[in-house]
Amino acid sequence: MIVVLLTASCASKRNTLIPTMPVWMVELPPVDNIWGVGIALLQDSNLGLQLATNRAQTEAARQINALVHSELINHANEEGLADDPRSITAIENIERNLIDSRISSYRIDKRDRMQDGTWYVRISIRKSDAIGHINSIVENELAEYSEFMTDLALSRINASLYDTRMRPSPLGDE
């Protein structure tokens, strides 16, 4: 008799459980998309939805930034510029611009309001749109950075010329 009561009790609890998050939270994005998820619970439902959407955008920007940061650091290390202050500043400026900017081509992919009033929003950004956005930010920063690279190249050339002893050709000009 105790077993029957216990089983009936568990069955009734299963039916009354309130989901704490949408089922789509466990999905993975398609290979050509980046997803950002935002969650918010505010008394004003409209503000909660707006905040969740902003958080989803920020999450997507952070994912993109992490990838860009890794690649920029690898590139700086390969070029021997990882310790140069101007190189570090350029990388930091690119990262800050990525986080601060909003990729305008996102779309709200999923949006659910749970029974407790919490909004869950998932945005989707096509990777091709993200790449275009990254390229514009990097190109703007590299325009300033290229002056530094030109100065660096010229100083290397000058140092090389000063450090190298050149002999005149024994044949002379004919």
Check if the beta carbon of residue 88 is closer than 8 Å to that of residue 77.
no
Residue that wins the pLDDT comparison between 170 and 114: 114
N-terminal to C-terminal alpha carbon distance within the chain: 116
Q: Name residue, tokens 């100083």.
A: 155
Residue 44 has a pLDDT of 96
Question: For residue 18, what pLDDT band results from cuts at 50, 70 and 90?
Answer: low
Query: Under the phi-then-psi rule, with left for phi > 0, alpha for psi from -120 to 50, and beta for the rest, what region is 104?
Result: alpha
* pLDDT tier for residue 117 given thresholds of 50, 70 and 90: very high
- What domains does the chain contain, in order, with CATH numbers? 29-150 (3.10.28.20)
d(CA 11, CA 5): 10
Q: For residue 107, what is the enclosing H or E element? A: strand 107-113
Which residues fall within 8 angstroms of residue 125, CB to CB, at 6 or more apart? 33, 34, 35, 36, 60, 103, 105, 106
Question: Which of the residue ranges 28-32, 58-62, 106-110, 131-135 would you say has the lowest mean pLDDT?
Answer: 131-135
Task: Give the per-residue pLDDT at 121.
Answer: 97
Distance CA 118, CA 29 (A): 22
- Closest by CA to 49, choosing from 101, 120, 105, 110, is 120
